[in-house]
């Protein structure tokens, strides 16, 4: 069960170590950058995923008036399956501290 106060990324079903983890293309180290807790990766540092664009912001982008420059962390994980195959998943969901989905 994830610890509260941490940003949590849920691993795909069947994902087993060894794991390689990247945030926005920068490799992370287990123990220093994240902790593996069951089927969850827990991060102390704030992670953010850009939410859906509203009509106003989408219109501004569409008409070339403005872009979007919000922080948008992308979590990618390479893992081993129970059969021994290596898989890579990209853009995993990030659950902020206190999220109801973090359990």
Measured distance CA(60)–CA(68) in Å, rounded: 9
In the structure encoding, which two tokens stand for residue 13, read together?
Answer: 């079903």
pLDDT at 50: 62
Quickly state the pLDDT bin for 3 (edges 50, 70, 90): low
pLDDT at 72: 77
Q: Which domains does the chain have, with CATH numbers?
A: 7-96 (2.60.40)
| Residues 102, 6, 13, 90, Cα dihedral to 10° | 120
pLDDT at 102 over 50: no
| Mean predicted confidence (pLDDT) in 35-52 | 86
pLDDT at 1 over 60: no
In the structure encoding, which two tokens stand for residue 57, read together?
Answer: 């912001």
In the structure encoding, which two tokens stand for residue 97, read together?
Answer: 């501290």
pLDDT at 55: 72
Measured distance CA(4)–CA(103) in Å, rounded: 10
Quickly state the pLDDT bin for 14 (edges 50, 70, 90): very high
* pLDDT tens-digit readout, 54-94: 676 666 667 777 665 657 789 999 999 999 999 999 999 99
| Mean predicted confidence (pLDDT) in 37-48 | 92
Higher pLDDT: 4 or 30? It is: 30
């Amino acid at each position: 069960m994830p610890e509260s106060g941490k940003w949590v990324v849920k691993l795909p079903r069947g994902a087993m170590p060894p794991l390689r983890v990247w945030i926005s293309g920068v490799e992370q180290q287990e123990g220093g950058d994240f902790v593996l807790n069951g089927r969850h990766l827990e991060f102390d540092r704030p992670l953010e995923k850009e939410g859906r664009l509203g009509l106003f912001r989408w219109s501004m982008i569409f008409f070339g008036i403005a872009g979007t420059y919000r922080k948008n962390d992308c979590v990618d994980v390479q893992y081993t399956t129970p059969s021994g195959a290596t898989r890579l998943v990209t853009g995993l969901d990030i659950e902020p501290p206190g999220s109801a989905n973090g359990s």
